[in-house]
Amino acid sequence: MRRTADPRRTFLLDLLEVALVAVDGRRRMRAALSGAASRNTWVLAVGKAASAMTLGVLDALDAHVSRALVVSRAGHFDPELERRPGIECIAAGHPLPDAASLAAGESALAMAGAAPVGQRVILLVSGGASSLFEAPAAGVSLDDLQRLNAWALGSGLDIEAVNGIRRRLSRVKDGRLLAAFAHCDVEAFFISDVPGDDPALVGSGLLAASDRAPVEPAPLPGWVRDLLARAQPPSAVARPVSVTCVGSLAEALAAVEQAARAGGVAVHRHPTRLAGDAMATARRVCEELAMSPEGVHVYGGETTVVLPQDPGRGGRNQHLALAAACQLAGREDLVLLASATDGSDGNTADAGALVDGATIERGREAGLDAQQCLARADSGRLLEAAGDLVHTGPTGTNVGDLVIAVRREPRHSPLPPLSM
C-alpha cells in the first residue's frame, strides 16, 4: 500500500480495520459462548475464519474441548492454534478443492461416526468452506470437482448459483453433514458471506439443507449437465439444530458507519447489496459518488468477473477498483477502497486496492494500460505498479467485500483519527 500524506487514504484504511475488528471470528465466538454450560465438547470448524473461530471457542470453554478438527486455507492457521494439543488442522485447497479437501470431508464423517450418542459438537462454518471441505457423491471425482470449480470461478455466476450446483455433488453439503451428526447435540455458528445470511447457503449447506428447488443457471455447459445427472448424493434428513450467525456484512458496515460518525464525518450508507459484473458495478458506484454529497460512502456485497482464458493477477475487488480508477481519473475529490474482508482477493494474497484520481496516470508511467489490464483480468499488476494494493494478511473473518469511498477535497480540514 502506497503511503502518502493524503489523510483520506489513511482514513479509509482505518475504517477497513474497524470493520474487520467488528466481525473478528475469535472475538465473536468468545462472546457467543460466554456463560455457556461447560461440558465435554468436540469442535468441527471449516472455512477461512475457522482458526479464529476455534480460538474463540477455546477462549470460552478451554479444557472442556477434548477434540477438534479445523479445516482452512494454508496460511490461515494461527500458530497458537497449531500448538494446542488435541487439535487436528488440515490445510485444504482454495479456490479449487484438492486431495486435502476430500481428506477433510472424510475425517469429519469419521468424527461423526466415532461420536457417542449425545456428544456435544460445536460446528463452525465461514466463507471458503465449499472448496476447502468435500466428500464427493458417488459418480463424482476430484477431477470433476476441480473442473467444475475452475469453470464456476470464471463463469460470472453468483455464489448462490454456484453453491446450488455444488450441493448436488456432495455427501456433506445440503444438510448431509448434519445428518451424519444427528445422534449428537449439535450447536452451529457461522460467519456469513452470503446474501440474507442464510445458513443453507453458507458452505453450500453445511449447516442446513436448502428448502428451495434447485434452479439451474442457463445455459450450463453440457459436461456440467452430465456431471449433475450422474452424481448420486445420499438422501439425508437432518434434525434442526441451533444455528447462530456471529458475523455479517451488515455488522461490518454498521461498524464503519458508527466509527466515521463518531469522528464527526457525514456517512452515506448505500443499502443495495453490490452484485453482478465488477466493471458495471464500478461505473454505477462512481456515477453515484459523482452526484453525492461530501463524506464517507459505504457499500457491501460481492461482484463477479468473467475471466478470459489465461487471466492475470487480481480478483474481483482489484478489478472493481481499477475500473473505478478509470472513472475517477483526474478527479481530486474522490478516493475509493475495495477490499475482501478475508484478506485475499482472487488469485492473490492482496485484499484489494485503494485508488484515487491519479491511479491511472501512475500505472501509465509504469508502462501499463488500464483497459488492457482489465481485459486480461490483470488489474493487480497495474495496481501494484501504482502503489495502490492493500494487503492485510488473513483476517480471521469473511463477510464478503467492502467498498468505502471518501468524497472530500484534499485541501479541506484533515479527517479525524479513528478509535479502534
**Spatial contact of 204 and 133, defined as CB atoms under 8 Å apart:** no
Terminal CA-CA length for the chain? 20
Buried b (16+ CB within 10 A) or exposed e, 54-80: bbbbbebbeeebebbbbbbbeebbbee
pLDDT band for position 238 (50/70/90)? low
The values of phi and psi at residue 293, to 5°, are: -70, 165
Buried b (16+ CB within 10 A) or exposed e, 130-163: bbbbbbbbeebebebbbbbbebbbebbbbbbebb
Query: What share of the chain in percent tops pLDDT 70?
Result: 96
**Spatial contact of 142 and 200, defined as CB atoms under 8 Å apart:** no
The three grid cell numbers given for residue 350, joined into one nine-digit string:
492482496
| Distances in whole angstroms, Cα of residue 415 to Cα of each of 12, 62, 229, 261, 330 | 10, 42, 58, 11, 22
SS3 of 332-395: CCEEEEEEECCCCCCCCCCCEEEEECCHHHHHHHCCCCHHHHHHCCCHHHHHHHHCCEECCCCC
412 vs 99, more confident: 99
pLDDT band for position 3 (50/70/90)? very low
Kindly give, in sequence order, each residue whose CB lies less than 8 Å from that of residue 213, ignoring residues fewer than 6 positions away: none
**Whole-structure pTM value:** 0.93
- Domains of the chain, start order: 7-20+249-407 (3.40.1480.10), 24-247 (3.40.50.10180)
Q: Is 175 left (phi over 0), alpha (psi -120 to 50) or beta?
A: left
pLDDT, position 419:
60
Query: What share of the chain in percent tops pLDDT 90?
Result: 80
The single residue listed with the C-alpha cell 479437501 is 101
Weakest mean pLDDT among 214-218, 230-234, 239-243, 271-275: 214-218
**Across 266-283, average pLDDT:** 96
pLDDT band for position 5 (50/70/90)? low
pLDDT band for position 347 (50/70/90)? confident
410 vs 389, more confident: 389
**Across 150-160, average pLDDT:** 85
Burial class (CB in 10 A: 0-12, 13-18, 19+), 214: exposed
Asked whether residue 420 carries a pLDDT value surpassing 60, the answer given is no
pLDDT, position 249:
97
pLDDT, position 413:
60
**Across 61-77, average pLDDT:** 94
**Spatial contact of 286 and 403, defined as CB atoms under 8 Å apart:** no
Asked whether residue 213 carries a pLDDT value surpassing 90, the answer given is no
DSSP 295-310: EEEEEEE--B-B--SS
Kindly give, in sequence order, each residue whose CB lies less than 8 Å from that of residue 20, ignoring residues fewer than 6 positions away: 252, 341, 392, 395, 396, 397
pLDDT, position 162:
86
Weakest mean pLDDT among 119-128, 167-176, 215-224, 250-259: 215-224
What is the helix (H) or strand (E) element at residue 79, kind and residue range? helix 79-82
Cα 228 from Cα 389, distance rounded (Å): 39
pLDDT, position 159:
80
Cα 63 from Cα 9, distance rounded (Å): 44
Q: State how far Cα 220 lies from the chain centre.
A: 25
Report the mean per-residue pLDDT for the chain: 93
